[in-house]
């Protein structure tokens, strides 16, 4: 299991610092075109980037264990790797071929990370005429100053299911005041969860008796089972803890470990969605995909679209900088389309996704 694999591993910062020192020292010693402050700075940049790349892959292999600082750096890895292009251009102009070679390798690595996410997967034949499910994922933000606007948008959308993250009692009251109780009468939630990470799954479709709130270690899940044209389909909503909270990264890793244990117990068409508080580039995300899941937004060629803003208002709310809100599906579900909705006072952009559900892929409703 993932938790056992991580036990006794080497701290990633030890490997990262070692990689950084070796790259910088060797690079400066072997500099073949004259030394300058600019060259030294470029080697420092390459050393730092290579340290991130090496520790990321060693973490995927289960050799090292990262802390919160590296986790956030992995989240920003494609953006950080943009610096390699600047180093490459400078090294070529200066005639520093070893530096240019290292920077070129890092630049190619960035392309390997991001280019495949720009291409949509082929729609399988079965999905072209399969029944569909319309889902909205919305982190409405605990300090939302315009909750009525956010609630009205979700109610007006009239999707089959809406997953509401940071669903405080106050927001849910506003949601119902704006017609949420009539549009989405079927619910999975914990009325006693007043934390910043509460999740509500609200549905226009009737839910089966297997729908429930579940607690697995530190992870809380809202699980809905519903009939999609004769096939029982499972939708799991969640909001693991943010790495930037005190003690958040250790809790987040424990929660993702529990999720990795839980996924293989599911059968039939499965959709796992919410604010996962991670980008696509953390090693743990790769481990989730290795369980047979796929990133629904990536599959549509929209993997570079972002959802999280640094603030809900003012200059920090101008644009989203990273995608923390995801939908993962198994091979019996295929995403057909996705669109972002308005933030409506949140620091996240909600998204609306339509998926095809493979007929006969799950248990027949009883």
DSSP readout, 326-347?
EEEE-TTEEEEEEEE---TT-S
Query: Beta strand pairing status for 325-329 and 294-295?
Result: antiparallel
Are the beta carbons of 174 and 153 closer than 8 angstroms? no
**CATH assignment, 122-357:** 3.60.10.10
What's the distance, Cα to Cα, between the start and end of the chain in Å? 34
Residues near 33 by beta carbon (within 8 Å), at least 6 away in sequence: 39, 94, 95, 96, 97
Please state, in angstroms and rounded to a whole number, the distance separating the CA atoms of residues 122 and 143.
40
Are the beta carbons of 333 and 358 closer than 8 angstroms? yes
Q: Model pTM?
A: 0.93
Find where tokens 């750096």 sit.
73
For residue 265 the two structure tokens come to 């117990």
Q: How do the pLDDT tens digits run along the chain, 366 residues long?
A: 344 444 446 888 899 999 999 999 998 888 765 668 899 999 999 999 999 999 999 998 888 899 999 999 999 999 999 999 999 999 999 989 999 999 999 999 999 999 999 999 999 999 999 999 999 999 999 999 999 999 999 999 999 999 999 999 999 999 999 999 999 999 999 999 999 999 999 999 999 999 999 999 999 999 999 999 999 999 999 999 999 999 999 999 999 999 999 999 999 999 999 999 999 999 999 999 999 999 999 999 999 999 999 999 999 898 999 999 999 999 999 999 999 999 999 999 999 999 999 987 655 444
- DSSP string across 262-317: HGGG--SSEEEEEE-SS-TTSHHHHHHHTTT-EEHHHHBT-TT---EES-SSGGGG
Q: What is the pLDDT of residue 29?
A: 85
Please state, in angstroms and rounded to a whole number, the distance separating the CA atoms of residues 255 and 2.
11
Query: Beta strand pairing status for 64-65 and 333-340?
Result: unpaired
Q: Which of 309, 310, 296 is nearest to 339 (CA)?
A: 296
Please state, in angstroms and rounded to a whole number, the distance separating the CA atoms of residues 353 and 203.
14
Are the beta carbons of 279 and 323 closer than 8 angstroms? yes
Domains of the chain, by residue range, sit at 2-117, 122-357
């Amino acid at each position: 299991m993932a938790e056992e694999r991580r036990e006794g591993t080497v701290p990633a910062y030890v490997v990262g610092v070692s990689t950084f020192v070796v790259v910088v020292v060797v690079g400066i010693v072997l500099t073949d075109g004259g030394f300058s402050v600019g060259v030294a700075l470029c080697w420092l940049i390459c050393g730092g980037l290579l340290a991130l790349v090496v520790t990321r892959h060693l973490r995927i292999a289960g050799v090292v264990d990262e802390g919160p600082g590296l986790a956030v750096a992995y989240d920003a890895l494609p953006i950080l790797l943009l610096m390699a292009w600047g180093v490459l251009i400078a090294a070529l102009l200066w005639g520093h071929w070893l530096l240019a070679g290292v920077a070129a390798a890092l630049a190619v690595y960035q392309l390997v990370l991001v280019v495949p996410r720009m291409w949509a997967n082929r729609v399988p034949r079965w999905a072209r005429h399969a029944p569909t499910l319309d889902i909205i994922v919305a982190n409405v933000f605990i300090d939302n100053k315009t909750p009525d606007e956010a609630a009205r948008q979700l109610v007006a959308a009239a999707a089959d299911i809406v997953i509401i993250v940071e669903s405080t009692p106050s927001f849910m009251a506003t949601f119902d005041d704006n017609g949420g109780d009539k549009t989405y009468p079927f619910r999975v939630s914990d009325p006693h969860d007043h934390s910043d990470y509460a999740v509500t799954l609200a549905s226009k479709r009737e839910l089966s008796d297997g729908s429930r709130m579940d607690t697995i270690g530190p992870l809380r899940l809202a699980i809905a089972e519903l009939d999609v044209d004769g096939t029982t389909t499972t939708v799991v909503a969640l909001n693991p803890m943010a790495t930037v909270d005190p003690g958040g990264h250790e809790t987040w890793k424990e929660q993702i470990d529990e999720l990795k244990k839980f996924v293989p117990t599911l059968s039939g068409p499965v959709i796992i969605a919410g604010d996962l508080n991670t980008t696509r580039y953390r090693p743990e995300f790769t481990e989730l995909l290795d369980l047979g899941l796929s990133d629904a937004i990536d599959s549509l060629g929209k993997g570079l679209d972002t959802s999280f803003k640094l603030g809900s208002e003012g200059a920090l709310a101008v644009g989203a900088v990273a995608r923390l809100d995801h939908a993962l599906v198994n091979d019996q579900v295929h995403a057909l389309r996705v669109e972002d909705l308005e933030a409506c006072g949140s620091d996240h952009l909600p998204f609306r996704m339509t998926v095809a559900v493979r007929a006969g892929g799950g248990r027949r409703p009883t």
